[in-house]
Structures are given as structure tokens and as C-alpha cells.
Amino acid sequence: MIATSDDSWPRSAAPAIRGQLRTRPEDFEVEEQLPFELAGQGEHAWLRIRKRGVNTDRVAQALARAAGVPRRAVGYAGMKDRHAVAIQWFSVHLPGREAPAWDGLGAEIEVLEAARHTRKLQTGALSGNRFVITLRECVGDRAGFTQRLETVRQGVPNYFGEQRFGRDSANVERARAMFAGEAIRDRHLHGIYLSAARAFLFNEVLARRVADGTWNTPLDGEAFILDGSRSYFLDDGTDATLPQRFALGDIHPSGPLWGKGEPPTRGLARALEQEIAARHTELAAGLVRADLRQERRALRVIPRELAADWLDDATLQLRFALPPGSYATAVMRELADYRDVAAKV
């Protein structure tokens, strides 16, 4: 079994403190940020929902039942963990119909806002997520933590979180079985396993570069990705502003989301990526056969508005914002050696 917990890949530096994460759902709060205003009219009812202790799919199912529509008529931008308090947007397709009262969704599901819009909420359609995370029973070097906090403000390795891989890495192992010929008839699970395989290969590339000290330094043949974008470009040696843009966080080194076609990188960057793919041939080849195309993801993510407050001698509260697709645990693991109490619940 491949280990893919938060301790499986190297940190950029050792944390100065340790503590307990998610001893209760309120210790992990996340709020989605929309990049646009709702139209106020249209075929889709959009709902801003506060959920506690339930996963995103359960909320979607409850909304579908309340509206009397198929589950596919409900949209959301991304999955949010069950062991958390999340403020999340959903859409429900109700052409020519008034929205129901949204009663009976469950004690842990609260509708905060409702409005109409012209289109369905699509995966990833966010400007980012804001987090408030409380770490309890903290011990260690508080002065060292303060120094580490300043370093983390400059960026952390943008690992996929362990949520992507399932408990005990089951999603990666299922992907291997699927690529070996095991039939997966559930399209949703099929997509989950493909995503896990891509995330695993990306994390392996990033882990190598963290170990080499190059995750935050451009390599020869680097493909730079624009901050907050999927667009990337190669350094042709003509842009003298690249070092400044890199220092400001406007661009980042990137790693592969594996698929068909050659990686856009060259030189040392390509050699490293191809070495990782060759080490996990069954995953890389399976993603190519699945007809996924090569994409890129930033190796570095910079937490915005990062702040830390000690609520008492042993309780630390952290606040920060991340772009869509980045994981709060990637930030937390750089700041603290934590035990996730909810991980085995």
C-alpha cells in the first residue's frame, strides 16, 4: 500500500510546533468566494449554505430531494470536508419553477442566502477559499513558529491534500487496479480514481523538488504558470522581468497533471518529470489511455492574508485565503506537526 498521508512527502522546513487539528468541526472553517455577482434571474436557484459535519454530496442529495429534481441538476464548485464547518455555494436547475422553501434539509444544513442565476455552478468556478483553522494542545517553540510564519508568507509546496487519495491511499490503489483492467462502472468513481492518479504523480514530482530545494526556484527548462491561472509558458531567455515576477508571486514553477502528449518542459525540468512518470508507468500510461491531456499546476502556493493569533497558551488560530484547488493542509503542515483527530473518524 502506498502511503499518501500528509507525512508522506517532505516539507520545505521542519515546523517548530505541534498540536491537534479538528478536534471539533468548528476548528476547521472554510468559506467559498465567488468571482462574480449573481444575475438575480434565470433558470438556476443558487444557494449559499452553511454545513456542519456533513459532506458536500450529502447536501447536494438533500437539495435534489427538496426540489424534486435529479441529482445531476445540482451543481457545486468543489468538495468540502465532512469534518468541518463550510460555507459553500450550490445551484439547482429549476427552469420555469419557483424554488421550494428548502425545508427539511437537515439540522446541519442551513441556507444563508438564495438567488437566481442564468447558469449552473461549475466545478472550480471560485476565486478562492477563506479559512479559519484552530490548532489545539499546541507545544513547541513559539518564537520559532513566528519565524516560520514569516517564511510561509512567501509560499509553500502546493501539494494535493490527502483527501484526494482516500483513506489509506485507496483511491490510488483503485486507479492502479482500474488501469490493470478492473471494470469501474460508476462514472463518478472512475473520475475520482483518475484524479487521484494525476494528483499522486504531481505530488511525487513536487516531493522530489522539495527534497532537492528547487520547488521554489526555477529549473532549466521550467514551465512557468501564471498565478491563479492554468496558463503557462516557457522561459525563452528574453524576458528580463521574470525574476521580479517570480519574487512577487505573479508566476510560479509548475508540475505536470499527467496525460497524453509530451510535457512542455525542457532540460532538467523535463528529465525530472519523465523520471517520475517512468517510476510509476502504470499510472502515467493509464492516464494517457484515459485520453486526458497534459495540464499544469503551480508547485508553489502563496497564502494570502495569513494571520495567526494565540487564543491561549495552547490554542492557535490561523486565518488565510487560498486560490481554488489548493489545500489548507498544505499550509498547515508547513506551520505545525499536527495530528488530525478527525482523520480516522
**Cα separation, 125 vs 41, whole angstroms:** 19
Grid coordinates standing for 4? 499518501
Query: Are 103 and 66 in contact, with CB atoms under 8 Å apart?
Result: yes
Chain mean position to CA 26:
20
Q: What's the chain's length in residues?
A: 345
Distance in Å from the first CA to the final CA of the chain: 20
Marked catalytic residue, from 7, 27, 57, 81: 81
* Cell numbers found for residue 84: 468541518
Which of 239, 217, 192 is CA-nearest to residue 300? 217
For the chain, helix (H) and strand (E) counts, in that order, are 8, 16
Task: Tell me the one-letter amino acid at 167.
Answer: R
Q: 122 CB contacts (<8 Å, ≥6 apart)?
A: 75, 77
Which residue carries 439547482 as its cell? 92
In the chain, which residue ranges form alpha helices assigned H by DSSP? 56-67, 142-152, 170-179, 187-212, 242-248, 267-279, 281-289, 328-335
- In this structure, are residues 314 and 138 in contact, taking their beta carbons and an 8 Å threshold? yes
Residue 212, C-beta contacts closer than 8 angstroms, at least 6 positions apart? none
- 103 catalytically annotated: no
- Positions annotated as catalytic residues are 81
